[in-house]
A and B are shown apart, each in its own frame.
Chain A
Amino acid sequence: MIGRLYNVAIGAQAQTAAKTLMEIAAPADAVVTVERIQISQSSFDTSENLGSKVQDISITGTGTATTPRPFETGDAAFGGTVKTNHTIEPTYGTAVHLEQGFNVLSGMLWTPANDDEVIVISPSALLGINLDVAPSASMDFSYGCTIREIGG
């Protein structure tokens, strides 16, 4: 395996608005690829369609610093930074990598269909994963992503 794999996981967090759920900042000396994104909720039992967007960020926002967990115990810490559950939205760039609707009853799981589809974050660049549509009521969202850090 080339690079190091990390997991970002947030469990059952109440969300009431459209907002950025995760912001990933790649380290200055490594490329980061996003290998998996998942969003689901566990408190609302009525069918409702929401959406999520994965997009480049040009100016960072304010969120809770979250430490990605290495897949291999004892592996080095992730070289970049991850923020979750933003209180101040970042400024998004123009490049949209993914825009997908999902039903809150089934949630959303994205993985690249092949290697050409993997989402790539350049060194020092930022990527955001958001809840693009406000839920009609407070819902307990669990979300996360798998990221790979590949040094040069």
Chain B
Amino acid sequence: MNGVGTYLAPAKPSLDVTKATGVMRGTPSRVAVRQDGPIVVLFVADKSVQMTTPIAHRVGFALVVNARDCAPAEFVRLTINGESVDFPPRSARQVGGALLRKADGADDWQRSHRRRAAT
């Protein structure tokens, strides 16, 4: 059916890394960063988010920087499309570093699998 009327654009995907205080929701024990060919995947418990290399790089860097800036009792909150996961500073630094390293691996994968120009 063709729609007529106000067009509701789909929400833009959002990723946000901030410092937070207050009640910290426990970080699930199953946090993992993996590389799947050209993309980086962050697993948190039973959910995952796929990132391109520039996004993984930005998120990884932001996690490490926010971890550094945390005062006592502060933690790092990663919000993906409105859903948040909280990391203690040291975990944020480690996950951020892993994202940077996996982005490096994904970048290498892209370079070794680039399409050759037609001759």
One of B8-16, B20-28, B44-52, B57-65 contacting the partner: B57-65
Which of B53, B64, B102 is within 8 Å of A122, CB to CB?
Answer: B64
Contacts of B101 in A (CB 8 A): 33, 115, 118
Highest count of chain A CB atoms <10 Å: which of B53, B57, B67, B107: B57
Contacts of A95 in B (CB 8 A): 90
Contacts of A3 in B (CB 8 A): 100, 104
Whole-angstrom distance between the Cβ of B45 and the nearest chain A Cβ:
16
Q: How many A-B residue pairs have CB under 8 A?
A: 59
Whole-angstrom distance between the Cβ of A121 and the nearest chain B Cβ:
9
Highest count of chain B CB atoms <10 Å: which of A1, A116, A123: A116
Interface size bracket, B side? 20 to 34
- Tell me the interface secondary structure of chain B in the complex: helix
Kindly list the 4 A-B residue pairs having the minimum CB-CB distance in the complex, ordered from nearest. A120-B97, A122-B68, A115-B101, A2-B104
- Name A's B-contacting residues (CB within 8 A): 1-3, 31, 33, 95, 115-116, 118-120, 122-125, 150, 152
Contacts of B67 in A (CB 8 A): 122
Name B21-44 residues within 8 Å CB distance of A: 32-33, 35
